Chain A
Amino acid sequence: NAGVTQTPKFQVLKTGQSMTLQCAQDMNHEYMSWYRQDPGMGLRLIHYSVGAGITDQGEVPNGYNVSRSTTEDFPLRLLSAAPSQTSVYFCASSYSRRGSSYEQYFGPGTRLTVT
């Protein structure tokens, strides 16, 4: 299994540009999440999904969109990039079955810089 994969690893955008961060998992996990990591802030939840076709907002959703058309993929779209979105983005997935540990499996991260 590849686990959770993210592309690209690095990206530089100009203010106002849009782009999509890709996330895929091959573990048949129902739950998938996007986090951003900023210095001193830990991991903050942007959006999450509990299954194909179902998404919801997390703590810091503004400026981001998500969709979940398949169990495997959970892309994060930046609509109009702003310098405040400079961050490292992590995608994570976990089982949702009752009695499981709900341990999060993280992707390698995407480092995004917006100039």
Chain B
Amino acid sequence: ILNVEQSPQSLHVQEGDSTNFTCSFPSSNFYALHWYRWETAKSPEALFVMTLNGDEKKKGRISATLNTKEGYSYLYIKGSQPEDSATYLCACRSSGGSYIPTFGRGTSLIVHP
């Protein structure tokens, strides 16, 4: 079982603020890093998957970066909106074995109007 950690655990921001949070994972035997968005009472939905060191992905106001050498990924939200309120999960896969990902505990984001 990989040690995947996310910080902060929760975050309250005002509408219009930009914010970011971190996912850290073991850098050895890295295969892929996923970010998911999880709204209350719904199922997690995939945002990004990144596999290469230096990868950057963007979807609207949300972007993510990956550093596999030091074992971290950042998720950025520019100009937060109340509809961005959700828990953001990262999941890491290692090479070899079953390829089943290990999830972090998530960062809960609340955007206040």
Contacts and interface: CB of A to CB of B under 8 A. Distances in A.
Interface stretch (A18-26, A36-44, A73-81): A36-44
Give chain A's interface residue range (CB within 8 Å of chain B).
20 to 34
Interface residues of B, number: 24
A40 B105 contact: yes
Contacts of B49: 101-103
Interface stretch (B60-68, B78-86, B94-102): B94-102
B98 A102 contact: no
Contacts of A56: 98
Contacts of A96: 99
A115 interface: no
Nearest to A56: B98
Interface of B: 1, 6, 9, 32, 34, 36, 42-46, 49, 89, 91, 93, 98-106
B32 to A, nearest CB: 6
Given A104-B91, A107-B43, A42 B104 contact: yes
A109 B89 contact: no
A33 B100 contact: yes
B39 to A, nearest CB: 12
A26 to B, nearest CB: 16
B101 A102 contact: yes
